[in-house]
Amino acid sequence: MALDTVTNASATPDFVLPFEQLGLKADEFEKIKTILGRRPTGSELAMYSVMWSEHCSYKSSKIHLKQFGEKAPNSDALLVGIGENAGVVDIGQGYAVTFKAESHNHPSFVEPYQGAATGIGGIVRDILTMGARPIAVMDPLRFGAADAPDTKRVLPGVVAGIGGYGNCLGLPNIGGEIVFDETYAGNPLVNALCVGVMRHEDIKLAQAHGAGNLVVLFGAKTGGDGIGGASILASETFNTSKPTKRPAVQVGDPFAEKVLIECSLEIFAEDLVVGIQDLGAAGISCATSELASAGTGGMNVQLEKVPLRDPSLSPEEILMSESQERMCAIIEPSKLGRFMAICKKWDVTATVIGEVTSGDRLHITFNGELIVDVPPRTVAHDGPVLTRPMSRPEYLDTLKAVTLEKVETPEAIKAAVLKLIAAPNIADKSWVTKQYDKYVQGNSILAQPEDSGMIRIDEQTHLGIAISTDANARLSFVDPYNGVKLALLESCRNIATSGAKPLAITNCLNFGSPEDPGVMWTFAETVRGLADICLEMGLPVTGGNVSFYNQTGKVAILPTPVIGVLGVIQDVRTRTSMSFIEAGLELFQLGNTDDNFTGSEWAHLHGQMGDQAPTPDIDHETRLVKLLLEGQKYFAAAHDISNGGFAATISEMVLKSNIGATIDLPAQFIPGGVTAGLFAETPGRVVVAVKSSDVAGLTSLAESHKIALHKVGITGGDALAINGASIPLTQLRAAFTETFPKLFG
Amino acid sequence: MRVGVVTFPGTLDDRDAARAVEYAGAEPVSLWHGSDDLKHVDAVVLPGGFSYGDYLRCGAISAKAPIMKSIIVAAEHGFPVLGICNGFQVLAEAHLLPGALTRNADMHFLCTDQTLKIENNSTMWTNGFTLGQEILIPMKNAEGNFNCDDATLHELESEGRVIARYVGVNPNGSRDAIAGITNKRGNVVGLMPHPEHAIDLLTGPSKDGLTFFTSLLHSMIAG
The DSSP code sequence of A309-360 is SSTT--HHHHHH---SSEEEEEE-GGGHHHHHHHHHHTT--EEEEEEEESSS
B108: which chain A residues are within 8 Å (Cβ-Cβ)?
Answer: 160, 434-435
d(CA B193, CA A80): 40
Of A164, A345, A439, the CB nearest to B111: A439
A440: which chain B residues are within 8 Å (Cβ-Cβ)?
Answer: 12-13, 16, 140
Amino acid B223: pLDDT: 62
Q: How far is B61 from chain A (nearest CA, A)?
A: 13
Q: What are phi and psi of A250, to 5 degrees?
A: -60, 150
A255 vs B9: CB contact, 8 Å cut-off?
A: yes
Facing residues of A275 across strands? A330
Amino acid A537: pLDDT: 95
Most B-contacting residue of A440, A569, A737 (CB-CB within 10 A), to test interface? A440
Q: Does B154 touch chain A (CB under 8 A)?
A: no
Provide the residue range defining the domain that includes B42.
2-222
Decide if domain A402-441+577-745 falls under CATH 3.90.650.10: yes
For A120-213, list the strands marked E by DSSP: 133-143, 173-180, 189-199
Residues of A with CB under 8 A from a CB of B: 160, 163-164, 167-170, 253-256, 258-259, 345-347, 433-445, 456, 459, 572-573
A448: which chain B residues are within 8 Å (Cβ-Cβ)?
Answer: none
Domain spans in chain A, listed from the N-terminal domain onward: 1-66+204-382, 402-441+577-745
Active site residue B93: no
Consecutive 10-residue averages of pLDDT for chain A (745 residues): 87 90 90 96 91 89 92 87 83 96 94 95 94 97 97 97 97 97 96 97 88 96 71 38 49 94 97 92 88 90 94 87 93 97 97 95 96 94 93 97 94 98 98 97 97 98 98 97 98 98 97 96 98 96 94 94 98 96 96 96 97 97 98 97 97 97 89 94 98 98 98 97 97 98 94
User: Is the fold of A1-66+204-382 the same as that of A402-441+577-745?
Assistant: yes
B50 vs A167: CB contact, 8 Å cut-off?
A: yes
A456 vs B202: CB contact, 8 Å cut-off?
A: yes
Most B-contacting residue of A174, A346, A437, A444 (CB-CB within 10 A), to test interface? A437
Amino acid A228: pLDDT: 57
CATH number of this structure's domain A1-66+204-382: 3.90.650.10
Domain CATH number, residue B71: 3.40.50.880
The DSSP code sequence of A480-495 is HHHHHHHHHHHHHHHH
B19 vs A442: CB contact, 8 Å cut-off?
A: yes
Amino acid A599: pLDDT: 97
Question: Contact, A105 vs A189, CB < 8 A?
Answer: yes
B12: which chain A residues are within 8 Å (Cβ-Cβ)?
Answer: 168-170, 258, 440
d(CA A63, CA A389): 12
Of B85, B119, B143, B197, the active-site residue reads B85
A160: which chain B residues are within 8 Å (Cβ-Cβ)?
Answer: 108-109
Low-confidence ranges of chain B (pLDDT < 70): 223
d(CA A589, CA A638): 10
Global pTM reads 0.95
Question: Contact, A596 vs A612, CB < 8 A?
Answer: yes
How many structural domains does chain B have?
Answer: 1
Q: Does B35 touch chain A (CB under 8 A)?
A: no
Give the residue from chain A lying closest to B86, CA to CA: A168
Amino acid A53: pLDDT: 87
Question: Contact, B47 vs B16, CB < 8 A?
Answer: yes
The DSSP code sequence of chain B is -EEEEEE-TTB-SHHHHHHHHHHHT-EEEEEETT----TT-SEEEE--B-GGGG-SSTTTTGGGSHHHHHHHHHHHTT--EEEETHHHHHHHHTTSS-SEEE--TTSS-EEEEEEEEE----STTTTTSPTT-EEEEEEEESS-EEE--HHHHHHHHHTT-EEEEE-SS-SS--GGGEEEEE-TTSSEEEESS-GGG-SSTTTSS-STTHHHHHHHHHHHHH-
B196: which chain A residues are within 8 Å (Cβ-Cβ)?
Answer: 442
